[in-house]
Amino acid sequence: MSKMLEETRQQPEALAKTLEEGAGALRELRRHLEANRPRLVILVARGTSDNAAQFGRYLIEISTHIPVSLAAPSVLTLYASPVDLREVLVVGISQSGESTDTNAVLADARSRGATTLGITNEPNSTMAEIAAFTLLARAGKEESVAATKTYTCQLLALYLVAYALGGEVSFDVLRQLPQWIEDVLEIEERVGEIAERYMFMTRAVTVGRGLNYANALELGLKLMETCYVVTERFSSADLMHGPIALVEHAFPVFVFAPAGVTWQSISAVVDMLEEVKAETLVITDENNSEACAKPARLIRLPIPRGNWGGPEDLYTPIPYIVPAQLFAAQLAEIKGLNPDRPRMLHKITRTM
């Protein structure tokens, strides 16, 4: 069994620890942000962490109404063109805390008066030293190069950032997430059976919208790095603006389809995929009865119905990525590949 699969199964405990052990740091961060409310939030990251940042952008803007931008590190590291960061919160996200360009942006931002926050799995990392505040992803050591539990812990940490900024985030719901993931892990065998159908897949498209767009990016990355599947990754809106023309009969398309405001857009895509008889796999949950009624192949998640005090899909991204991680890990093994050691990749990547 791969470390990737083992670490996917460790996520309930990692999420619970991230929430419980981050209480002190969260209180300190919230006090500072209440007294120094930023006019803008900038998120800086690479790879899987950058996919988490995409989620953070949607979450923070939806829940706090503060505009969020994703940093382009090359503006500083290659073009040496620093920007005005007064009254800005700059958040670096890195599993190892050793991403050189992410840390360079954080260090420059702090020198220019920005509030700086690091989200990392490593308390003794360079990022933790550079940033004024740190929220730790308590995932424990992650041995597989392919990130799983660190990604979901980063998503959870971003919920905490939104809360610290005064966002409408419910701790009661966040405390339920570990149990939701336990329940989702019960369908591992079903996911493995589906993965066998894709043994010879060499190309694919992943689709999401809104809060789950980040998961489309992350599943696409996992398929590329662990299964060597060339994967295009789209928002459902962007897919309809031209790229859907590349989809044909039996073309594999993976769709994240929670209930809520994004469903209308996603539903239109699923209908078009049905028309061309694409090989469509829809990840949804029992609350989306319309998705469950579609003829497409389904991975149906056991997420309880509830009034979460926000958009209907607000808390779906963490449970929704878990079957995608299981799928990628099992498909890699079916293909005879080692998802823990993808060729030419290392756990820490240093770029400038």
Question: What's the rounded mean pLDDT across residues 293-319?
Answer: 87
pTM to 2 decimal places: 0.94
pLDDT of residue 347: 45
* Domains 3-169 and 178-334 equal at CATH topology level: yes
Per residue in 196-248, pLDDT (tens digit) is 999 999 999 999 999 999 999 999 999 999 999 999 999 888 876 777 778 88
Q: Which of the two residues, 51 and 351, has the higher pLDDT score?
A: 51
Distance separating alpha carbons of residues 26 and 36, to the nearest angstrom: 15
* Residue 60 reports pLDDT greater than 50: yes
Question: Are the CB atoms for 59 and 162 separated by under 8 Å?
Answer: yes
What does the block give as tokens for 260? 């809520």
Per residue in 102-118, pLDDT (tens digit) is 999 999 999 999 999 99
Distance separating alpha carbons of residues 164 and 174, to the nearest angstrom: 14
Distance separating alpha carbons of residues 296 and 281, to the nearest angstrom: 6
The Cβ of residue 335 has, within 10 Å, a number of other Cβ atoms equal to 17
CATH of 3-169, one of 3.90.400.10, 3.40.50.11810, 3.40.190.10, 3.40.50.10490: 3.40.50.10490
Tell which CATH architecture fits domain 178-334: 3-Layer(aba) Sandwich (3.40)
Distance separating alpha carbons of residues 285 and 313, to the nearest angstrom: 11
Residue-wise DSSP of 50-118: HHHHHHHHHHHHHHH---EEE--THHHHTT------TTEEEEEEESSS--HHHHHHHHHHHHTT-EEEE
pLDDT of residue 319: 97
Q: What is the DSSP letter of 349?
A: -
Q: Which of the two residues, 236 and 30, has the higher pLDDT score?
A: 30
Q: Would you put residue 344 in left (φ > 0), alpha (ψ -120 to 50) or beta?
A: left
Picking from 180-194, 211-225, 269-283, 332-346, which range would have the lowest pLDDT averaged per residue? 332-346
CA distances from 75 to 90, 115, 319 (A): 15, 19, 35
Q: What is the mean pLDDT of the chain?
A: 92
* Residue 329 reports pLDDT greater than 50: yes
Question: What's the rounded mean pLDDT across residues 165-171?
Answer: 94
* Residue 5 reports pLDDT greater than 50: yes
pLDDT of residue 247: 84
Distance separating alpha carbons of residues 261 and 43, to the nearest angstrom: 25
pLDDT of residue 330: 97
What does the block give as tokens for 285? 């949950």
pLDDT of residue 349: 55
Question: What's the rounded mean pLDDT across residues 107-133?
Answer: 96
Question: What's the rounded mean pLDDT across residues 176-182?
Answer: 96
Map out the domains of the chain as residue ranges: 3-169, 178-334
